[in-house]
Every structure is written in structure tokens, then in C-alpha cells.
Amino acid sequence: MRIVIDNNVIIDALKPNPGFEADAQEILRLASAKAIDGFVSANSLTDIFYVIRKDRGADTAKMMIQKLVLMLDIIGIEPADCLAALEKPMNDFEDAVVDVCAQKVSADSIVSRDEQFIKAETSVKVVTPRQLLDSIKA
């Protein structure tokens, strides 16, 4: 199963968010164990770094990004990807870029906690962390 993990799910795992952290951490554990093929877009890493650095400092943020790079496959972004994202009928450019990245790697799903992203018209189905974990168990 090929899954693109949105930055909000990764942040929930790294900067514990009560009510969301357990599912997010389980998804990263499955990716680390190679039970799923986990992907993240390169631009998401910069957003994750920014949030973690503000909360826990630059050294911790760097260490966490290093671990993510070893755990997940990183999807590079080309100019054509940005243009394709702008063509999508979505108001959130970051979500559109994630959708384009998911298409690039033939992902089965994007996992996100972003309600607007879940409801958006996307090329790759967007599911919540709980929905993904339930489908893996089924």
C-alpha cells in the first residue's frame, strides 16, 4: 500500500496532539517497518521543520527531519508539478501539490486530518488516519 502522508499527520506524531497522536504515530511506525510504503512531499518537510523548530528548537527539528528522510520516501517537486497543482480545482495550493505528488508515485491514498482536503476534488483519495488504519486492519 502506497500512502502519501500530509504534513499535519506527521506533525501530530512528532509534536504530540492529544486525540490525534496515537493514530499518527502508528502510521509512521507502519512506514518505518515497511508495512506500508510511506511518502512525503519535499515541500512538506520544510513546513514540518518550521513547526517543530518553533516548538522544540532547531537541533530537535533537524534530528526529526533526518529520521523522516530515512523512514519515508521523499517526493521531489518539479516546476511542472507546481503548474499542475495550480490547474486543480482546489483553493489550497499546498494540498493541490500533495495531490500531484500522490499521482506521481501512484499512491493508493493520501492520509490527512485536514477536513477541507478530505472533502476536496482530488485525483487520489484522501482519508483520515483512522480510516487508513481501519482499512489496513480489514
* pLDDT above 70 as % of the chain: 100
At residue 21, the pLDDT reads 95
Does residue 138 have a pLDDT over 90? no
Please write the tens of the pLDDT for every residue from 50-91. 999 999 999 999 999 999 999 999 999 999 999 999 999 999
At residue 17, the pLDDT reads 83
Query: How many domains is the chain built from?
Result: 1
DSSP 3-state of 43 = helix
At residue 16, the pLDDT reads 79
Tell me the pairing of strands 109-111 and 73-75: unpaired
Question: How many angstroms separate the CA atoms of 31 and 71, rounded?
Answer: 7
Q: Check if the beta carbon of residue 90 is closer than 8 Å to that of residue 122.
A: yes
Question: How many angstroms separate the CA atoms of 26 and 37, rounded?
Answer: 13
CA angle at 84 for the pair 79 and 90, rounded to the nearest 5°: 130
Q: What is the CATH number of the domain that holds 105?
A: 3.40.50.1010
Average pLDDT over residues 13-29: 93
The amino acid sitting at 3 is I
At residue 32, the pLDDT reads 96
pTM score, two decimals? Answer: 0.95
Range of the domain at 104: 2-137
Q: 65-102: string of b/e by CB count within 10 Å (b at 16+)? A: beebeebbeebebeeebeebbeebebeeebbbbbbbbb
Q: Check if the beta carbon of residue 126 is closer than 8 Å to that of residue 112.
A: yes
Return the C-alpha cell found at 85: 497543482
At residue 73, the pLDDT reads 98
